[in-house]
Structure 1
Amino acid sequence: MTVQESDLNWRHRTPKTRLLLWLGWFLLVALFVWCWDLMTQNTLWVFVSDAPRAGADLLDRAFPPRWEYMDRLWKPLWDTINMATLGTLLGIIMAVPLAFLAATNTTPSRLILRPFALLCIVATRSINSLIWALLLVSILGPGLLAGILAIAFRSIGFIGKLLYEAIEETDVAQIEAITATGASRSQILNYGIVPQVLPAFFGISVFRWDINIRESAILGLVGAGGIGVQLQASMNVLAWPQVTLIILVVLATVVFSEWVSASVRKAVI
């Protein structure tokens, strides 16, 4: 058999591999159909077919925005920004020690303190800020304090995880050089590890603040204060022009926070 003939007989996959591949695709399609049927079994399709008309009617009533309502949004908007900022700062204060306890190269105890720190990081990251707000509003009552704590608890897991991973990725050679000078453990931490993770720390913190601006805007829906309270009140009375204005204000605030976040990360990283 010549080289040209062997090339013509070459196949990318064996018949058994192709059969298994087609079987896998068939099972995937069957799973999708089953999930779709399960999710839509209680769907009233008459409402779905009427959705375009209802959506167009809602947009018609929502525009133009009620610009004179802006005078009542400045204070809630300021509360929302403060909620995100204070919650982020409080989350940083609690996350930084947990990150150093969770990192394998800085923890003083791998058997006790590290598992405890990892448990705290995973637990706080697993619960959404809206759930935290619901729990805290039921305990502390409605207001900004519940929102600040909800943002803080949610931020612990995010900041803690990214920061302890950054700590573990520090340059070992630089740490060994400082250790060779006879430096103490605290000096190794201050001069060998902290300078390396500081740019990542600033980037993570500002990025989390940017996320918290968006999350704090909706916490008012469950009574945690901020501009979400005005959004909920406007939706309850079907004041759609006010809802449109609030959405535009939130959008502008998020765009501004994104610009600040990108500028800070560019400056420090």
Structure 2
Amino acid sequence: MNTQVPGAPSSWQFRTPQQTLLRWVGWFWLVALTVFCWQVMNENTIWAFVSDAPEQAADIGDRMFPPAWGYINNLWEPLWDTINIATLGTLLGILIAVPVAFLAATNTTPSTRFVRPLALLIIVASRSINSLIWALLLVAIIGPGLLAGIVAIGLRSIGFIAKLLYEAIEEIDDKQVEAVRATGASGAQVIDYAVVPQILPAFWGISVFRWDINIRESTILGLVGAGGLGIQLNASLSTLAWNQVAMIFIVILGTVVISEWVSAKVREAVL
């Protein structure tokens, strides 16, 4: 901004005085908020435990090695349960997420005023609640076991899959839709022949990516009674069997690495 001062050459300023003042006020409140948050955190923190944390971590790490390699025979069945929870939960999420995505997309929803907001509410509700919280609720409702874990993963997956899928639907080429519609096709035929072929690669990529995420999340659902490796992990932690915990960590790491590899290969094939 150029400012003219009588008797002086014109000068350029990056910000006006008002903008500079607002900038400093913003920094002041940011610092004040940081100090307040630090005080809240510090209020219930026992710093003696924090200072002792490195020693405790080293002690637990020493107890973890060597891992209990023979304990792996007790983990095959829980590992299979974990994979089933992730796979069936992902399938359940897909079955619900696909119609929700079509109802949420502006170019396929039957009503942008009533139906679309309801579909978006389902997506937000699913994404707002962590799978562990879903598992806690479901264990209390339907009891502990694999079913609670499967439903928890499914409910958590709805929002993720539906959100990415409805965004892919809204980005399709409208020319193909108009071409199919011009032939006299019905609404269902337009979706079948013009929309679905365009979003199919994105659908497979999203689904496999979510399955990969669910493999990781399903490993801890057993901590609240929803089956899988988490049950074995909870039991080993309760008995302070740290070498067994190390073995469980190794199995979880191996499972996640393999699922990541499978996910990458499938996405590479379909995209």
TM-score (norm 1): 0.93
The 1-side partners of 2:158 and 2:9 are apart by 61
Q: SS of the residue aligned with 1:110?
A: coil
Please point out which of 127, 130, 137 is paired with 1:128.
Answer: 130
For residues 51-110 of structure 1, the C-alpha deviation after alignment (integer angstroms, 9 at most, x for no partner) is 111111111111111111000001100110011000001110111111111212112233
* Matching residue of 2:192: 190
2:147 is aligned to 145
Cα displacement string for residues 91-138 of structure 1 (whole angstroms, at most 9, x for unaligned residues): 101111111112121122333332322222221221111111011111
Match of 1:168 in 2: 170
Does residue 255 of structure 1 match 2:262?
A: no
Structure 1 CA distance for aligned equivalents of residues 102 and 72 of structure 2: 45
Q: Which whole-Å CA distance do the structure 2 matches of 1:215 and 1:130 have between them?
A: 8
1:119 and 2:121 correspond: yes
Among candidates 209, 214, 217, match of residue 215 of structure 1 = 217
1:17-61 C-alpha deviation (Å, 9 max, x unpaired): 334323322221121011111111121111111111111111111
Aligned partners of 2:203 and 2:30: how far apart in 1? 42
Residue 85 of structure 1 aligns with an amino acid whose one-letter code is T
Unpaired runs of 5+ residues, structure 2, are 1-7
* Whole-Å separation in 2 of the counterparts to 1:130 and 1:214: 12
The aligned amino acid for 1:242 is: Q
Equivalent residue number for residue 269 of structure 2: 267
Q: Which moved more, 1:198-207 or 1:27-36?
A: 27-36
* Structure 1 residue 16: Cα displacement: 4.1
Greater CA drift, 206-215 or 21-30:
21-30
Aligned mates of 2:9, 2:82 — CA distance in 1: 70
Q: 2:205 aligns with which of 200, 203, 212?
A: 203
Give CA-to-partner distance per residue, 1:176-214, whole Å, 9 cap, x none.
Answer: 122222222122111110001101100110010001000
Task: Give the TM-score taking structure 2 as reference length.
Answer: 0.93
Which residue is equivalent to 2:95? 93
Gaps of 5+ in 1: none
Residue of structure 2 equivalent to 1:66: 68
Aligned pair partner of 2:29 in 27, 30, 37: 27
Once the two structures are aligned, what percentage of the paired residues are identical?
69
Q: Work out the CA distance in 2 between the residues paired with 1:245 and 1:6.
A: 75
Q: SS at 1:50's partner residue? A: helix
Instruction: Please say which of residues 78-87 and 178-187 is displaced more in the overlay.
Output: 178-187
Shifted more, 21-30 versus 61-70: the winner is 21-30
Letter in 1 for 2:260: E
Letter in 1 for 2:177: I
| 1:231 matched residue in structure 2 | 233
Residue 38 of structure 1: aligned partner? 40
CA distance in 2, matches of 1:20, 1:51: 42
Instruction: Give the CA RMSD over aligned residues.
Output: 1.6
Query: Helix, strand or coil for the counterpart of 2:67?
Result: coil
| Runs of 4+ that moved beyond 6 A | none
1:181 aligns with 2:183: yes
Q: Is residue 85 of structure 2 the alignment partner of residue 75 of structure 1?
A: no
Deviation at 1:15, TM superposition (A): 4.3
Alignment-derived partner of residue 108 in structure 2? 106
CA distance in 1, matches of 2:268, 2:177: 26
